[in-house]
Amino acid sequence: MTISELLEGLSFTRTTGPLDTEIRGIAYDSRSVREGYLFVAVRGFSVDGHHYIQDAVNRGAAAIISEKAAADLKDVLQRAVQNNAAFIEVADSREALALVSAAFYGKPSQRLSLIGITGTNGKTTTSFVVKNIIDAGGSRAGLLGTICYITGDEQRASSHTTPESLDLQRCLSEMVYNNMDYAVLEVSSHALALKRIEGCSFRSAAFTNFSQDHLDFHGTMDEYFRVKCRIFEYLAPGGAAVVNWDDPRLRTLSQSLKGNVVTCGLEDGAMIRAENIADRRTQNTEHRLKNTCVPGLSFDVLTPESRFRITSQLMGQFNIYNVLMSVGIAYSLGIKEEVIQQGIFNTKPVDGRFETIYEGQAFLCLIDYAHTDDALKKLIQAARPLTKGRLITVFGCGGNRDRTKRPLMGAAASELSDIVIVTSDNPRSERPDEIIKDIVAGISRSNYTVQADRAEAIREAVSMAKEGDTVIIAGKGHEAYQEIMGKRYHFSDKEVLREEIKKLLAKS
């Protein structure tokens, strides 16, 4: 594909150099540039790609897309011209990266039915339920999200909830190559703000819920909400917006949206509604705890046309909403109710989401990704009915992220738990004791202790747990690392928890 073909539909200020050159690849990291590549200079949070244009030219870039005026890059421009490279100036290089990437990979979103899911919490579980529903109907769905990327028969660990636009379009093209019919995407607020999904067109877009998070990036709740709402700007003609009716802010939003809107919830007025909710307790040999069994969900789903019963292996009030949102998405796609029932029944608990860990102990252990005060509240509230004894919560907060949610999480954990152990999460470049100080500032009760070493905090929780208690390890879920001072070290809550349980049992 030539440079001029890639630029079709892209707004640019000026161009210099030949535009008929064939482009062999695209890169936004100059170290990935090869002979004949297009390099897009993007301003990052810590690195500005404009500083590496010269490196890209030296590596054989055939074209450069840049935000900076050519006059500001006179020497680099001259070198590019000497190398017979084109130079394209744009107003927004992130938007340009997304659009040229979509063009380079043959606009794969137009050959797939795309489903986008945003929201503060619930994106991951909802995306897996939707994928299972689609698969149950005989179609094939790829998935891009927080835990993994599935573009064919295999899956790989994800690097971002929503990949950078170039990587996103590459993944979508892999799905097309592998004869996928659908692509289910978790769409983060960062991805929306940074225009990673430009060039995508959704058949169905869902907004699961809204609560405080990422204010370090967005600044205010209003801006965070405004960015989240942008997902509906990417709906294809005739596409459906699926919204949580029970969330007050989203209810107001749903009433202002035009076109096909599907609302989901427990309250009157929702188009897709749950009734006759049962706490279905099922025996599960993997998690057979003394006097404890693992619950699931069962409830009636009401749609404008029908009523049917669903049964799920997932548990907790918050998962009622995740399942309902999945039903709403499936409904918007015209999927039959028996397929919806089967797909929901097939969905196993998602890695690191209200996941039970059992090694033969007489108390319940749960791992969860909850890292906002709203998610932590719902997690603890869901665990309380399963707990005959005490509820012990271990959690921390990430460094270099929204500081204002730290005391809120401290308050939620202390108010709803019997015992709280405040520890580290991913401190990144912050000091763990300073993060913990922010958390403790929100705690008014005396039912907490502090243990900055996360492994030691988990050990303490296990050592004090007795029959009928529940131990919650919150914040990291599926993650298998801790990020400290710019480096990632292997650390898995699940591994540490299993090890400590085994040690405890060996002593008894």
Render pLDDT for 391-404 as a digit per residue (tens, 0 to 9): 999 999 999 999 99
Interstrand relation of 141-144 and 63-66 (parallel, antiparallel or unpaired): unpaired
pLDDT at 70 > cutoff 80: no
Find, among 216, 412, 210, the residue nearest to 395 by Cα. 412
pLDDT tens per residue, range 138-165: 999 999 999 999 999 989 999 899 999 9
Share of the chain above pLDDT 70, in %: 95
Specify the higher pLDDT residue, 294 or 373: 373
pLDDT tens per residue, range 202-225: 999 999 999 988 888 889 999 999
Separation between Cα atoms, residue 239 and residue 228, nearest integer Å: 17
pLDDT band for position 72 (50/70/90)? low
* Structural domain boundaries in the chain: 3-103, 106-346, 355-507
Q: What's the pLDDT score for residue 75?
A: 74
Backbone CA torsion sign across 25, 26, 32, 34: positive
Angle between helices 373-383 and 405-416 (to 10 degrees): 10
Find, among 197, 181, 173, the residue nearest to 138 by Cα. 181
Q: What's the pLDDT score for residue 83?
A: 75
Identify the CATH homologous superfamily for domain 355-507: Mur ligase, C-terminal domain (3.90.190.20)
The answer to whether domain 3-103 has CATH 3.40.1390.10 is yes
- Would you give the distance in Å from CA 294 to the centre of its chain? 26
R_g (Cα) of the chain, nearest Å: 25
pLDDT at 284 > cutoff 50: no
String of b and e for 2-36 (b: at least 16 CB within 10 Å)?
Answer: ebeebbeeeeeeebebeeebebebbbbbbeebeee
Backbone CA torsion sign across 183, 181, 261, 273: negative
- Would you give the distance in Å from CA 351 to the centre of its chain? 13
pLDDT at 73 > cutoff 90: no
Q: Where are the beta strands (DSSP E) in 403-497?
A: 419-422, 448-450, 470-474, 481-484, 487-490
- Would you give the distance in Å from CA 75 to the centre of its chain? 42
Q: What's the pLDDT score for residue 291?
A: 39
pLDDT band for position 286 (50/70/90)? very low
Q: Which helix (H) or strand (E) holds 322?
A: helix 317-332
pLDDT tens per residue, range 246-278: 999 999 999 999 999 999 999 999 999 999 998
| Helix residue ranges, H only, 333-372 | 337-346
Q: What is the CATH number of domain 106-346?
A: 3.40.1190.10
Share of the chain above pLDDT 90, in %: 84
pLDDT at 76 > cutoff 90: no
pLDDT band for position 287 (50/70/90)? very low
Those residues whose C-beta lies under 8 Å from the C-beta of residue 289, and which sit 6 or more positions away, are 358, 361, 362, 363, 364
Separation between Cα atoms, residue 326 and residue 343, nearest integer Å: 10
User: Picking from 78-82, 231-235, 423-427, 446-450, which range would have the lowest pLDDT averaged per residue?
Assistant: 78-82
- Tell me the three state secondary structure of residue 183: strand
DSSP bridge partners of 150? 143, 155
Q: What is the mean pLDDT of the chain?
A: 93
Secondary-structure percent of the chain, ordered helix, strand, coil, rounded to 5: 40, 25, 35
- Tell me the three state secondary structure of residue 379: helix
DSSP bridge partners of 14? 89
Those residues whose C-beta lies under 8 Å from the C-beta of residue 124, and which sit 6 or more positions away, are 145, 146, 147, 186, 350, 353, 369
323 contacts 341 by C-beta, under 8 angstroms: no
Q: What's the pLDDT score for residue 289?
A: 46
Please spell the DSSP secondary structure of 8-55, one letter per residue: TT---SEEES-S-PBP-EEESSGGG--TTEEEE--B-SS-BGGGGHHH
| Helix residue ranges, H only, 426-483 | 432-440, 454-464
